[in-house]
Amino acid sequence: MKKISILYIGNNLTKKTKYNSTLTILSKLLIKEGFTVSIASDKQNKLLRLISMCYSVIKLRNKVDYILIDTFSTSNFYYALLTSQIARFFKIKYIPILHGGNLPYRISKNSFLSQLIFKNSFRNIAPSFYLKNEFEKQGYKTQFIPNILEIEDYNFKIRKKIAPKLLWVRAFKEIYNPTLAVKVLNLIKRDFPKAKLCMVGPFVDDSYKKSLDLVEKLGLEDSVEFTDVLLKEEWHKRSVEFDVFINTTNFDNTPVSVMEAMALGLPIVSTNVGGLPYLIDNKIDGVLVDKENEILMTSAIKSILEGNYPNLAFNARKKVNTFSWVNNREKWLEILK
């Protein structure tokens, strides 16, 4: 029986960024299931990456059965546009996997280009019900399959007492609003002078400098740690030192770092944007607050510290257990048969 061959198009930058992307995890699992998987691209330069992706489609046009395409809302949207249209030309089945909380705006703003991609795809896969609903509103048939968590790799820590030790894990980018975390710490310290904040993530734009400047302005140098990028295993190990995970983003889909924090037993306080209310049931397995509002986020953290939501972490772990490969394997195998 012929092995099914897949080309996975996405940002294969794990070796450089140290982050295990959804591409890395899913391709590894599919290989274990017996599929042949080729990946493009690991080029850091965006133009070279695009060329590599397009070349891979052309080179493998007679060898692959399916093309998976990680699809984002920013400039990377055009990777999906060009590679999908090359796939159409060669009559190869392609499957966009939707990422990015701002994709609904993109498909509304660029409706013609979006139709070229999503109306002609073999399937559209959304890792959140948020994107599934938004795409179906625009007439694109979409199937929900969550981002996969290898749940057995996540050690759940039971936190009998919650201390004001805050953890933030994200790239330093304006859309993720890292300065909000610093503002929240400053307010928390009024009632909890020993409060600490650890910020894990690569320094992508000037939001890192803004965060650093704000720390200095507020005199929080002894209370904030910037680690830069950490391997997943490293920040998971560090997470046992902290008791509340905060997510400050202004736009988002279903952030893997939040899912991981849920798996690790960290109570979550997040902004109520994009796909987050589809991931988190407010006050059941996390607390949601308005974006860019340090007062509301501070109040939510204080409520957790005061023991008002004792079951958040247990409920969250139960939910993310459903994101395991065991629970989603058949969905992928049914598509890629």
User: Nearest to residue 255, comparing CAs of 171, 156, 166?
Assistant: 171
Architecture of domain 151-321: 3-Layer(aba) Sandwich (3.40)
Q: What is the pLDDT of residue 15?
A: 56
Q: What is the pLDDT of residue 101?
A: 79
Question: In degrees to the nearest 10, what's the CA dihedral of 30, 32, 36, 41?
Answer: 60
Q: What is the pLDDT of residue 209?
A: 97
Q: What is the pLDDT of residue 81?
A: 97
With respect to CATH, is domain 5-145 assigned 3.40.50.2000? Answer: yes
Q: Do domains 5-145 and 151-321 have the same CATH topology?
A: yes
At 42, give phi and psi (nearest 5°). Answer: -105, 15
Instruction: pLDDT tens for the chain, 337 residues: list them.
Output: 579 999 999 987 665 555 668 899 999 999 999 999 999 988 989 999 999 999 999 999 999 999 999 999 888 899 999 999 999 999 999 999 999 778 999 999 999 999 999 999 999 999 999 999 999 999 999 999 999 999 999 999 999 999 999 999 999 999 999 999 999 999 999 999 999 999 999 999 999 999 999 999 999 999 999 999 998 899 999 999 999 999 999 988 889 999 999 999 999 999 999 999 999 999 999 999 999 999 999 999 999 999 999 999 999 999 999 999 999 999 999 999 9
User: Nearest to residue 49, comparing CAs of 1, 3, 16, 89?
Assistant: 16
Domain ranges across the chain: 5-145, 151-321
Q: What is the pLDDT of residue 12?
A: 78
Give all strands (DSSP E) within 201-319, no chain letters.
Answer: 224-228, 244-247, 268-271, 287-289
Q: What is the pLDDT of residue 220?
A: 98
